[in-house]
Structure 1
């Protein structure tokens, strides 16, 4: 995807506040501190479209971004961050599930997993929701630059087994080297059926 223009549309919590469902959407979700903001920034060719933070749990709203006037990237709150205030943590699950269940123009979800970690209960719950609502997942393993090729292959196999998916479904990504950017875009374009 040749990204010429990306702009922030709005933040929202409830469906009534979402922008009009006119463009196909792809949402991004993952455990807090998994590299979600960095992935979105690399895909959008912008350094700070989405604010990155060393403090997990920063995204607490659903954020919508227009790309080339063709599609919408949706940044969902990270899950599993224990130090977020309890009332905020309580809202995350229902907010995310409501979006997944009710957003009719949602075509795919990029589920982001840290290649160095075995998927958490939150990751497995997210996969169950995606299956339940018939939303195709795009499985992206981030932070690949932190491992050797041999370790990458081993971890990819362990993660695939843990989530009961084929190893070939995993897209490896590094925000540092930008490796994997084109493959992630190819999958998004394929599932959203938009012009690259």
Structure 2
């Protein structure tokens, strides 16, 4: 099965909001803790081994990396790899830069159509994960959580992790969050949830006729 995300390539990297590209196509942001497996997941989703790079020192990379999707001369949109967060040994100045960069990008970037939040299935919804949700919540745009590394859990533990995440998302909805909140289990090693993630992400980039997201019918256990 061919996926649009397999036509992804590096586009640009920026370290300041003023340098964000003046593109008109939709963007999907990928966020997650430094050890949540974000780079590995992006590489798998795009069927490439070294598209997104994981720093040898967690938390060191403080740049926003753009990857174009679709034909090189006329991309349909962009995947945006945000700096990983939550690594304790990062200097305070780097943490402050990270917080400014991510919070303002998530809150103000008009081209941003959704957030893929990657959380280790063994430790979902940390304080920093919740902060990401709260920065993005005022936009009313959708958030989809990939509960990564689920292969390290038993079936019962996977069920509990997914249930806990959905319960927290329901609480956000009750608090007035207008965007759609969904979650699914994901494992890059075992390729768990790969097709579901492909379908949802691509539906954000290229909605089907009538504006109905294609991912609606493809989420299965993630709904």
TM-score scaled by length of structure 1: 0.90
Q: What does residue range 115-194 of structure 1 map to in structure 2 within 5 Å?
A: 115-163=121-169, 164=171, 169-194=182-207
Mark the CA change 1:153 to 1:4 in structure 2 (over 3 Å): closer, same or farther: closer
Which residue is equivalent to 1:90? 96
| C-alpha displacement of 1:55 | 3.5
| C-alpha displacement of 1:139 | 1.2
How many pairs are equivalent? 195
Which consecutive residues of structure 2, in runs of 5 or more, have no partner in the other structure? 174-180, 209-213, 215-223
Give the secondary structure class of the aligned counterpart of 1:169. Answer: strand
Superposed CA deviations along residues 115-136 of structure 1, whole A, max 9, x for unmatched, are: 1014211111111112112221
Q: Is the 1:33–1:55 contact (alpha carbons within 8 Å) kept by the matching residues of 2?
A: no
Superposed CA deviations along residues 46-88 of structure 1, whole A, max 9, x for unmatched, are: 0011112464214310100011122100000112111112111
Whole-Å separation in 2 of the counterparts to 1:172 and 1:22: 32
Q: What does residue range 57-136 of structure 1 map to in structure 2 within 5 Å?
A: 57-68=59-70, 69-136=75-142
Larger RCO, structures 1/2 (Cα 8 Å, 6+ apart):
1
Q: Is the 1:33–1:54 contact (alpha carbons within 8 Å) kept by the matching residues of 2?
A: no
Which residue is equivalent to 2:177? none
| C-alpha displacement of 1:32 | 1.5
> RMSD over aligned Cα, in angstroms?
2.1
Which residue is equivalent to 1:52? 54
Whole-Å separation in 2 of the counterparts to 1:35 and 1:24: 24
TM-score scaled by length of structure 2: 0.80
